A and B are shown apart, each in its own frame.
Chain A
């Protein structure tokens, strides 16, 4: 296992711009998750994929947010028309096809909207 990787690690953008983050899960993990974490808080669930199908979305995922996992491997999270409130750490996790569904997290992408 090389671990979950996320790119970029840091992103600074101006309000109103669009940003896209990428997540590469652990090889052969069919489940992929996105979470958002703000300072001093625990991560909050955004969305979940099983293979290429997006099966669950949080109400936090407004219409400015879109996530894809086109071939069931890597995933992208796009935020359109960024707002200062979008500033957070965006975490990706993956989980294997095993009964315990343990989630393994990547290093995160830190987004700062100025």
Chain B
């Protein structure tokens, strides 16, 4: 059974700091990995999707990397801003025909002005 773990569960940083969020998964047989952002009481916003054949994806100040063989992904946020405060969720789509995403519990990020 695929399990996704995100560390740390919560992170508080001063504005302007660069930071890394971690995601690990137990089964390396994945089709892709997606990073999401969730604001309190809201739905999920897709940030980046990495196919299993890719090593990284970039969008603006965000960079996500994937090491499929070791079961790890990182989300790097450069020059953090208070507006980045949210919960960041990592999800994998297992190989084998299932369409479901398996999520971690998320990292709650607070960027202090």
**What residues of chain A have their CB less than 8 Å away from a CB belonging to chain B?**
4, 6, 31, 33, 35, 40-45, 48, 50, 55-56, 58, 91, 93, 95, 100-108, 110
The answer to whether A100 and B49 touch across the interface, beta carbons within 8 angstroms, is: yes
Measured between alpha carbons, how far is A99 from B50 in the docked complex, in Å?
12
The answer to whether B99 and A102 touch across the interface, beta carbons within 8 angstroms, is: no
Chain A residues lying within 8 Å of B106, measured Cβ to Cβ, are 42
SS of B interface (majority): strand
Measured between alpha carbons, how far is A55 from B31 in the docked complex, in Å?
18
The A-B contact count (CB < 8 A) is: 62
Q: Out of A44, A50, A107, name the residue touching B103 (CB < 8 Å).
A: A44
Measured between alpha carbons, how far is A91 from B100 in the docked complex, in Å?
13
Q: Out of A41, A58, A102, name the residue touching B100 (CB < 8 Å).
A: A58
* Chain B residues with a Cβ closer than 8 Å to the other chain, count: 25
The answer to whether A103 and B34 touch across the interface, beta carbons within 8 angstroms, is: yes
Chain B residues lying within 8 Å of A43, measured Cβ to Cβ, are 44, 89, 91, 101, 103
Chain B residues lying within 8 Å of A102, measured Cβ to Cβ, are 34, 46, 49
Measured between alpha carbons, how far is A35 from B43 in the docked complex, in Å?
11
The answer to whether A40 and B34 touch across the interface, beta carbons within 8 angstroms, is: no
The answer to whether A42 and B4 touch across the interface, beta carbons within 8 angstroms, is: yes
The answer to whether B46 and A104 touch across the interface, beta carbons within 8 angstroms, is: yes
